[in-house]
Amino acid sequence: MKRILIPAGGALLATGLLAAGLAGAAQADDTVAKDNMATSAANAKAIAQFWAENNGAALKAATESNVWDKADVAKLQSKGGYSSDTKPGSTAPIGEEKKTSAKVQNVNMPKTIGKVFFVNSKGEKKWCSATSIQSQYRNLVATAGHCVYDTAANTDVLSKWVFVPGYYQGKAPWGIYVGKQAFTHYDFDVYEDYDRDYAFVTVYNGVKLDGGKATKVTPSEYKSHVAKGGVGYVKETPITKEEFEAGYDKYGEAGPFKSKAADPKVETVAKPADVTGSNVDAYIKGEGPTKGVQLTGAEVYKSQYTAAGSGFDNGDKFERLSTEVPISKEQYDELKAAKGDGKFMGEVRAQLGADKKTEVAWFKQQFFVKKWVKTTAQMKYWVEDYYVIDTKGMDAGRLGDNVGGQGFAWNQPTGKAVRVFGYPAAPHPDGNKNYTGVTPKWCYGNTTKKLVGSAAKKIEEHVALKCAMTEGADGGPWLYKYSNSKRLGYVNGVTSTFNDQDSNGRVDYISSPYFDGETNTVYKAAAASWSGKIV
């Protein structure tokens, strides 16, 4: 058992998550650290909606965790290693508390595994592997510590953290489970000690955003519903330029022009550095010295226009496009009605005659701000339909009730057979890409006491397994005494590092922190924590 100690009378340098840890993350003892994630049901509901809206677009856009680079894929050393701190122990999986396992030969993927999705400090959507695990309230997920804490930025827990068991191509068959609290060892939370690279996260009841009744509404009704904390989504349907120009007559309130639901989309660029008042006309015509850049206008409300600057940057006033123009009485009446219904962003005005009573002329004014774009960019058009969801039927229930939960084991000797599961996706150090990350993979073998040569990550007590899975599998469970018929075993590790033992540019070993009595202390604290429902 390794402990990080503070020298007597010595100064402690802030490393890793120290600031986050001392700001209230760690408990009074020196073993368990706890951090809040989604602190309210409303916050959790918004996170679930972030990942699920537009048919799981954010889930599909996520890529594998990128904590490890080529330099981190190092050789394993056979010296050193862990030391047990208590007697071996285990906690049975859900449903197997008083049963014995049967031995079979078929390899079946456990129902409990899935991906954890999160947004890192760079705003990137990422994922790791994970599993549901036994707990008092059947609400616990086991994964790697670096899949919960943003070690790259030395900040607190990763944002928008969710677990999706059985994930496949944007689908969440058992619902989306939003993280409520993250538990890890104090030495990882504060010192980024990768010998403690594990985490247990309590999750709220799952949310099935397709479980509630969806009703199509107007844009204004949708905005009002969401502003009050309601749940909904926007469906985008691509259309052609001709369909776009057909506008309101074809699409009604969801049409492009009057509802502003589908504006033409082009690639926005920064203002060319040499644009001045004397040459801006050339740029507007696409004739400026910087070819392929043109100034156009983006329509805004009068209040936005009034607040805009008067220079040449994106978002500044575009005066020549914001002038008042005459219109017919029919157009005036139509636009006035549309503005009252929130469909027209500009202003309309009627001019009275000499009698000060009769309207004799009518005008409209729209407001535009500058928008520099690449003239070669492809124009994209679409129509947006708005839906609100009745939250009845959205509660997917507790994680463990839906997919079960693996057991937990600690202080087990090496040389024992384990099955490791995960979603590998990253290429090997030589660039060869064997995995897609779409479906889970597995490795099987006996663990060995190894020491990963990484002083920067303070690794001294890892166990290893011969396995070629790459990043994306990190956080995946190492299951001891795995029963293929029951798809259950005991979590006795999580994938932490990837290693190239024969120096041929391919990952051939993976490693896990050794689960000892202190790991069990962290696990028990998490396993006894309640989370509750979102809806």
**SS3 sequence of 490-518:** EEEEECCEEECCCCCCCCCEEEEECCCHH
Would you say 186 and 195 are in contact if contact means Cβ atoms under 8 Å apart?
A: no
H/E stretch holding 50 reads helix 41-61
List pLDDT tens digits, range 69-103: 655 565 555 555 555 556 665 676 766 655 544 44
At residue 161, the pLDDT reads: 97
Give the contacts of 158 (CB within 8 A, at least 6 positions apart): 118, 119, 120, 126, 147, 148, 149, 150
- The region that residue 145 occupies, defined by phi over 0 for left and psi between -120 and 50 for alpha, beta otherwise, is alpha
**Structural contact between residues 469 and 422, judged by C-beta atoms closer than 8 angstroms:** yes
- The pLDDT of residue 380 is 75
Q: What is the largest CA-CA distance in the chain?
A: 101
The pTM of the full predicted model, rounded to 2 decimals, is 0.66
pLDDT given for residue 405 in this prediction: 97
Segments in the chain below pLDDT 50: 5-28, 100-105, 255-261
Structure confidence by residue, pLDDT tens digits, 225-273: 877 777 777 777 777 777 776 665 565 555 444 444 455 677 888 888 8
Specify whether the CB–CB gap between 115 and 65 falls below 8 A: no
Rounded Cα distance, 297 and 284, in Å: 10
Q: What is the pLDDT of residue 365?
A: 93
What pLDDT shows up at residue 97? 59
Query: How many Cβ atoms sit within 10 Å of the Cβ of residue 54?
Result: 13
Residue 63 near residue 124 (C-beta atoms within 8 A): yes
Output the pLDDT for position 84.
58
**Lookup: tokens for 473:** 């599998």
Q: Check: CB of residue 52 under 8 Å from CB of residue 173.
A: no
Model pLDDT, residue 455: 55
* Cα angle, residue 170 at apex, residues 166 and 176 outer, rounded to 5°: 55
**Looking at residue 96, what is its pLDDT?**
64
Helix, strand and coil content of the chain, in percent to the nearest 5, comes to 20, 30, 45
Phi, psi of 10 (to 5 degrees): -90, 160
- Is residue 121 within 8 Å of residue 152, measured between CB atoms? yes
150, 379 Cβ separation under 8 angstroms:
no
Structure confidence at residue 257 (pLDDT): 44
Q: What is the dihedral of CA 475, 476, 481, 484, to 10 degrees?
A: 160
